[in-house]
Structures are given as C-alpha cells and as structure tokens.
Structure 1
Amino acid sequence: MPETPLRIGLLQCGHVHPEVAADLGDYPELFAELLAPHGIELTTFDVDHDQFPTDLEAFDGWVISGSANSAYDDLPWIHRTEDLLRQMITDEIPMVAVCFGHQLLAQAMGSTVAKAADGWGAGVHAYEFLGEPEPWMVPPPSAPVRVIASHQDQVTALPDGAVLLARTDHCPIAAFTLGPTAFAIQPHPEFTAAVSRGLVERRRDRIGAEASDAALASLDQPLDRDLVGGWMAAFLRQAAAVARARP
C-alpha cells in the first residue's frame, strides 16, 4: 500500500547557477525528483526573496536548501530564516536541513560556521556514518555513503544537544540530529553528477584547478543519493509522527 503523502515546505535559501538550472533544474525540481518517489509533496517558499511561510504547522515538515550565501552573511532574510529554525526546534517541527541549511541550523542554535581550512569540498565525497544506524536509516549504510559535496563553509562545532551522525576527513561535522525532529546534512543528496559537473566547471577559478580536476574525476563513482533521499523522507515521517503525538 502506498504511503500517505507528506506535505513538506521547502525553504529555498538560494538558487542553483542559472546556466545549470536551465538544463537540470533549480532546488525545487531537484528536491522534488529526489523525494517524490517517497511520497513527499513540496511547496516552495523562496526565502532569499522574502517569501516566508506564515504558519509552520500548516505542513508536515520542512526542508531547508543550500545557498551560494554564507550562513554568517549579515542579510535580513538570513536572520529571519534563523528565527524560523529556532522556532522549529522549540516547537519540535520536523525538518531536514541541507548544506547551507545544515550550517544555518547549527549557527541558529549557537554554534559556528567558517571556511574549511583545506578549501572547497566538491564532487563525490564518501561519508562515514557513525554508531548504530538510526531507525529511519533503512536500509542502513553498509559502507561509506557517496553523495555530492559543494561547499566552502562548514560547521565547526556541534550545537548543544546535537548528535554527530557522519564525517569525512574534509568535513568532520557532516551530519547531525538535534532532538527528535531535526536532521542536518552537509552534502547535497539532491545533486546529480551532472549538476555537480556544471557547477564545478563554472566555479573553477574559485575552487582552484587541482581541486576542480579532482572533483570532476570523482563524478564517475556511483552515488547513494537515492539511499539518502529515502532516509530524509523516513526521518520526516518519523518526526511528523512524533510531532502529532505531542499532547
């Protein structure tokens, strides 16, 4: 029997490079392609253009997207989005925060975000998931999980009460949970190899020639994006059930 659809709001915090998005889709299309097979129906709020939701509890949960901005940029829409994330944590509203979203959640809850000492993370990275798999990790990881990275900033310390889930040598805090209703992950499971290729080619000057060549060479590796997309959906379902059970 098909699972009941979940109505999820997408806080779109930025946009994929327009030349890449024209062919392969922007965040709403990329997340829809990843999550629709798992019964997720998305409604987008373009928060970096001041399109904010008025009722967080009108949806079963939320996904917070990536962005070309830094979490520490002093922009009104970033501060307002931080306020929303703090409200979600306080009210135990389900969320999955991705890349910039992962960083902004950590910052909103008192942690810090900074540029990685060894530069950009780009292309396919292998993430080590730690400890016993969570109940929503079905199937569980049997080896390092390979998904696309695309970031220069990263979380430098866990927020109070967070549980570290995944790491790499480049990114020691690559995923965490915060309470029963928040899951944050640094890489981009919504990105395909083609999206990564398009972004790396257009950011070569920023990423650097050597790191760009390594990233492009990595894109022949198989990706576990469908696995992580399933985890995201399962987490949102579990968290929504927790939220509905509250007195």
Structure 2
Amino acid sequence: MKMELWRNLMKPITIIKTGKTFPDLIDKNGDFEDWISRGIGLPNSEIKIVNAESDILPEPDQIRGAIISGSHAYVTDNLDWCLRLEHWTKMIIDNQMPLLGICFGHQVIAKAMGGIVDFHPISLEIGTKEIELLPSCENDPLFTGLPARFKVHLFHSQSVIQLPANTTVLARNEFEPHQAVRVGKNAWGVQFHPEANSAATRGYIQNLLADVKSADYEPDQLFEQIEETPYSASLLKRFVELI
C-alpha cells in the first residue's frame, strides 16, 4: 500500500492547455498554464503541461490528477483536437481520476459526458461577480467549508445549457445556474476562473471592450467592481490537496 501511494505521488499534476490568452496579458503575467501553476503552488517538477492542440494526451495511469484550462475556442466548434479532448475527458472520468475543468474545461467535461453547451441566451458574463454555493456543497470534498457566497472572476460567452447525467450543481448566480458542478465523484467543473487575478480580469474587459459595450455593460462600473478573489483562488490548492 505504501509503495502504491509513493508511486501515485511521483506522478505529475497535469495541466491540459487548451489555448492562449491575449498577447498583452501573456507579456505581463504569462499564459493560462502559468496562472494555474502559480495557483496550485507546487514545484514545476510536480507539474506537467500538455497542449491539447498538439500533444498526445496522457493515459489515466500516467497522472494523479488533471486540470483543463480555459480557452478562446468554442466547444461548439467541434474542432478535431477538442473532440479528442472530449474523448480523453470521458476516459479520465470513467477511470475516476481527479479532474477539474475551468470555464472552457468545465464545458468540455459537460459535453464529454452527454451535456449540452451553447452560447448563453443573454450575453457574455464578465468581471468580478458573486456566486452562491448550494446546500450540496456541504458534503462536497472540494467546496465544503467555503463561505456561502464569495466573489469570482468571470469571462465567458458559452455555458453549460443542459447538464449531463450524474451531475450535482454546487454553485450558481443570477446569470449562470451552473457556476460549479461535480460530475460523478471525482470531476469538477467551474464556469469561473480561480486561476485569474484582478489584473487578468481587467485585461479581459479591456480586450473585449466592444463586446462588453454591445452586451450593455458599463465598462467603468465593471472596472470599479474588480477585486481579488481569494476563496475562488483557494480551489486550485484545495483540488491538489484533495488528490
């Protein structure tokens, strides 16, 4: 038993990179995988970055857990690499390996397991917003003990419209009923961005200013509402501790 535990601990936490953020944000603070790596808080030797667009995705027995990043791609585009990722995601979940999907990754998990993803019927959701945890979090190993309400960073235009079977909704807000879910026992999806900080959210509002205005948001108000989101950020370390 001790040898099996040791072998598992020697396997990496795998970050599945599914795209790039805006160039100006990369220049200032790195890319999606860098944000996630910093949030995890493990040495680089314990983290493996896999590019879903070009790399071979690892077998379940090669990892001890995985995080699927956000992306500027759309799940509904059914790109070849994304369809491969969906197949891999289902295999990981079927093998009960710990998995966390962030925004696009959250949507990939839902679609891979039979849910429906599409553009949100209202508009994009962007900025620092509050989410509400549901009573289901009381027995959830990732969310238990967190406050009933806390702030998160959000920037997305697609959502999980219909949940797959065997899914528990963990968090919501007025805009998005599926802010956090658990699929089965070991897979979680969050529509928000626990890896993002205030600078990232400010950068997304600036880069998407035309979309923000067309969605009838007031940019100055969004900028004023930006703040750090420590409870959201804690989910990355919580996920690693859970593994």
TM range (shorter): 0.7 to 0.9
CA distance in 2, matches of 1:88, 1:34: 22
- Counterpart in 2 of 1:100? 104
CA distance in 2, matches of 1:166, 1:77: 29
Q: 2:170 aligns with which of 157, 165, 174?
A: 165
How many residue pairs match? The answer is 231
- Counterpart in 2 of 1:25? 30
Contact persistence 1:40–1:233 (CA under 8 A): no
CA root-mean-square deviation: 2.2
Alignment TM-score, normalising by the size of structure 1: 0.86
Q: Percent identity?
A: 23
Contact persistence 1:6–1:237 (CA under 8 A): no
- Counterpart in 2 of 1:181? 186
Corresponding position: 1:206 with 2:206: no
Where does structure 1 lack aligned partners over 5 or more consecutive residues?
241-247
What amino acid is the match of 1:163? T
CA distance in 1, matches of 2:174, 2:102: 19
Contact persistence 1:106–1:155 (CA under 8 A): yes
Q: How does 1:1-247 map to 2 (within 5 A)?
A: 7-36=12-41, 41-48=46-53, 50-131=54-135, 132-133=137-138, 134-137=140-143, 140-208=145-213, 210-211=216-217, 213=219, 214-219=221-226, 221-224=227-230, 227-238=231-242, 240=243
CA distance in 2, matches of 1:164, 1:230: 19
What amino acid is the match of 1:18? P
1:60 is displaced (CA, Å) by 0.7
CA distance in 2, matches of 1:181, 1:115: 27
CA distance in 2, matches of 1:182, 1:62: 10
Secondary structure class of the residue paired with 1:93: coil
- Counterpart in 2 of 1:244? none
1:58 is displaced (CA, Å) by 1.1
What amino acid is the match of 1:206? D
1:18 is displaced (CA, Å) by 1.1
Contact persistence 1:177–1:183 (CA under 8 A): yes
What amino acid is the match of 1:69? A
